[in-house]
């Protein structure tokens, strides 16, 4: 719609409204207007080409407007990121735009975020269809999922050496280019309030992208302005020393490891060092080995038995007793320390991989015949282990970004499962939040959902921290209704309910 200043030039022109999907196009006379009209029509046609229709197994009710496809982020190297976008279920023209990342590194935001957690269409347990999620976050926002970095899910590069250069800076730059180019394809969302979200290793991706957007918004002659308002992260990897201290203390406090194993790790490990000692790696391998019989991502849930043993992936061989093997593997795949794939669970993989590897699904998804030499079928995995192993872990803390963006006045929320996630436990999150030294705004209190305690919340000047009672690492999967309440409060800028 034209602004009040520009209205007079249209006063004498005849306008005709054409509805293309959810887009309203106004045509007018004049060559410059016609060029703008042609551009808008071209964009609308591109949108329609990427509209998802006849997605196998999709329920017919309610009607959903969604799109998927590729956004090129580097033409020279042939890099493109795959997206799945859902318009808000009501008032999409005014609802904010929310971008979601999963972590890993190497796990798909479509396989987890969209298809198992917060999207409106979840893959069913058999992997042969979809079911509507009544607690989908597109009730509150236009919801955009991106498979990042390249090599994850359907996203690809035609330059294989790219996969050896993956690190946080590489991912942030590609994510920024994705966002800019996606908004060019969907220009009607350019002016919307924009928020970034994610979980697990996206605890790095999200604030790093937010910082890049914030910095480039200052250079409007070089970069397009993006209406960034804030970000929210769940169970986020944030600061290595506090995160690993939390992992160890959580394992002991929740009876995963013995007093002796806890004492040995405490004695051997200085988590502030970028390279752990051989003794620390050996002690921590014992800690992780104790999770072999339960799910580290939700210690109170039933263990997935579809694939037999599902010990957390650490980059270690099964012979964890070999300290030399432990130390070598840890140094090769991390900052001299062991890392566990964030968000990995074989039960989710079974159903989502079965569904997204169907040829009819990939055709409806516009995922086939793109890149990769024009192959007609893409082998899709919910988590790409090779990305996890090859990733260059060059950033051990994103706390400086928090300090910078808090000072800038962005809305920043952090949420945690509270008591069931051993992978990124609430203990570690509380340590690094305390380290920020923020003034207290509102003290620790319960928040309520459906007349019950949904979790706890504390508000600092510049940051809100909330827990979700009874959830695991994937909060929107375990507690979908509570998670919807959480995102509603965040996007609206309202307090979580303080009364039953």
Residue 419, pLDDT score: 86
pLDDT over 60 (residue 245)? yes
**Predicted confidence (pLDDT) at residue 320 exceeds the cutoff of 90:** no
pLDDT at residue 46 above 80? no
Q: Residue 152 pLDDT > 70, yes or no?
A: yes
**Helices and strands, number each (H, E), in the chain:** 14, 15
- pLDDT value, residue 98: 98
Q: Domains in the chain, start-ordered, CATH in brackets?
A: 7-49 (no CATH), 66-234 (3.40.50.1820), 241-341 (no CATH), 399-492 (3.40.50.11320)
Instruction: Kindly list the distances between the CA atom of residue 426 and the CA atoms of 167, 248, 291, 421, 490, in Å, as whole numbers in the listed order.
Output: 26, 12, 17, 8, 19
Checking if the pLDDT of 211 tops 90, the result is yes
HEC secondary structure over 132-160: ECCCCHHHCCEEEEEECCCCCCCCEECCH
Task: Calculate mean pLDDT across residues 399-422.
Answer: 96
Does residue 473 have an active-site annotation? Answer: yes
Percent of the chain with pLDDT over 90: 74
> What pLDDT score was predicted for residue 58?
94
Phi/psi at 71 (5° precision): -120, 120
- The confidence score (pLDDT) of residue 323 equals 31
Catalytic pick from 421, 449, 485, 489?
A: 421
Q: How confident is the model at residue 35 (pLDDT cuts 50, 70, 90)?
A: low
Q: 368: which 2 tokens?
A: 């086939």
Task: Report the Cα 412 to chain-centroid distance in Å.
Answer: 15
Tell me what pLDDT residue 196 has. 98
**How confident is the model over 147-161, as a mean pLDDT?**
95
**pLDDT class of 350 with cuts at 50, 70, 90:** confident
Torsion of the alpha carbons at 208, 213, 218 and 222, rounded to the nearest 10: 120
How far apart, in whole angstroms, are the C-alpha atoms of residue 240 and residue 106? Answer: 19
At 37, the pLDDT band (50, 70, 90 cuts) reads low
- 375-387 tens-digit pLDDT: 567 899 999 999 9
Give the mean pLDDT of 394-417.
97
| Token code pair at residue 263 | 């004492």
Examine the pLDDT at 54 and tell me if it is beyond 80: yes
What is the reported pLDDT for 356?
96
Pairwise CA distance, residues 144 & 138, whole Å: 9
Name the pLDDT band for 129 (thresholds 50, 70, 90).
very high
Mean pLDDT of 387-412: 96
Region 67-94 average pLDDT: 96
Is 200 a residue of the active site? yes
Chain mean pLDDT for the chain: 86
pLDDT at 322 over 50: no
Of the residues 66, 473, 485, 489, only one is catalytic, namely 473
pLDDT of residue 375: 56
Q: What is the pLDDT of residue 163?
A: 94
Mean pLDDT of 66-84: 96
Q: Which residue has the higher pLDDT, 25 or 225?
A: 225
Q: What is the pLDDT of residue 36?
A: 53
pLDDT above 90 (res 23) = no
Q: What is the pLDDT of residue 304?
A: 76
Single out the catalytic residue among 109, 148, 197, 200: 200
On the 0-12 / 13-18 / 19+ scale of CB atoms within 10 A, 485 is buried
How sure is the predictor about 308, in pLDDT bands with cuts at 50, 70 and 90? very low
Look at residue 79 and tell me whether its pLDDT is greater than 50.
yes
Output the pLDDT for position 2: 41
Q: What is the rounded distance in angstroms from the CA atom of residue 54 to the CA atom of residue 64?
A: 12
- Residues 445-486 have pLDDT tens digits of 999 999 999 999 999 999 999 999 999 999 999 999 999 999
Which of 38, 227, 224, 58 is CA-nearest to residue 142?
227
Average pLDDT over residues 139-165: 96
Look at residue 218 and tell me whether its pLDDT is greater than 60.
yes
Nearest to 99 by CA among 183, 163, 25: 183
């Amino acid at each position: 719609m034209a602004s009040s200043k520009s209205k007079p030039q249209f006063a004498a022109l005849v306008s005709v409204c054409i509805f293309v999907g959810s887009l309203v196009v106004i045509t007018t006379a004049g060559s410059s207007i016609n060029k703008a009209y042609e551009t808008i029509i071209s964009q609308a046609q591109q949108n329609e080409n990427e509209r998802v229709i006849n997605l196998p197994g999709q329920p017919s009710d309610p009607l959903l407007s969604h799109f998927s496809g590729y956004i090129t982020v580097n033409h020279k190297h042939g890099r493109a990121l795959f997206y799945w976008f859902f318009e808000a279920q009501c008032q999409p023209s005014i609802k904010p735009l929310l971008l979601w990342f999963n972590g890993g590194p190497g796990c798909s935001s479509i396989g987890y975020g969209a298809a198992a957690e917060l999207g409106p269409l979840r893959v069913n347990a058999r992997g042969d269809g979809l079911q509507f999620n009544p607690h989908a976050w597109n009730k509150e926002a236009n919801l955009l999922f991106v498979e990042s970095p390249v090599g994850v899910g359907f996203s690809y590069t035609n330059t294989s050496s790219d996969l050896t250069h993956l690190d946080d800076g590489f991912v942030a730059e590609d994510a920024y280019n994705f966002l800019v180019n996606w908004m060019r394809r969907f220009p009607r969302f350019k002016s919307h309030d924009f928020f970034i979200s994610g979980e697990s290793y996206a605890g790095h991706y999200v604030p790093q992208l937010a910082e890049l957007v914030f910095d480039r918004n200052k250079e409007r002659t070089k970069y397009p302005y993006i209406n960034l308002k804030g970000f929210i992260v769940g169970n986020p990897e944030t600061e290595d020393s506090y995160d690993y201290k939390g992992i160890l203390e959580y394992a002991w406090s929740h009876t995963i490891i013995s007093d002796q194993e806890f004492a040995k790790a405490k004695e051997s490990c200085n988590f502030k060092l970028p390279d752990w000692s051989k003794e620390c790696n050996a002690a921590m391998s014992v800690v992780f080995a104790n999770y072999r019989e339960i799910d580290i991502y939700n210690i109170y849930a039933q263990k997935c038995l579809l694939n037999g043993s599902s010990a957390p992936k650490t980059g270690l061989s099964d012979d964890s007793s070999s300290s030399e093997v432990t130390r070598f593997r840890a140094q090769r795949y991390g900052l001299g320390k062991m890392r566990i794939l964030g968000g990995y669970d074989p039960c989710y993989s079974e159903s989502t991989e079965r569904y997204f590897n169907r040829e009819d699904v990939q055709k409806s998804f516009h995922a086939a015949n793109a890149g990769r030499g024009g192959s007609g079928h893409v082998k899709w995995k919910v988590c790409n282990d090779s990305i996890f192993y090859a990733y260059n872990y060059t950033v051990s803390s994103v706390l400086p970004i928090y300090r910078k963006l808090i000072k800038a006045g962005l809305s920043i929320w952090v949420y945690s499962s509270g008591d069931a996630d051993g992978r990124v436990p609430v203990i570690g999150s509380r340590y690094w939040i305390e380290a920020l030294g923020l003034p207290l705004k509102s003290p620790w209190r319960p928040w309520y959902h459906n007349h019950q305690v949904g979790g706890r919340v504390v508000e600092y000047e510049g940051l809100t921290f909330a827990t979700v009672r009874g959830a695991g690492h994937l909060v929107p999967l375990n507690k979908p209704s509570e998670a919807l309440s959480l995102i509603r409060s965040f996007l609206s800028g309202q307090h979580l309910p303080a009364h039953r």
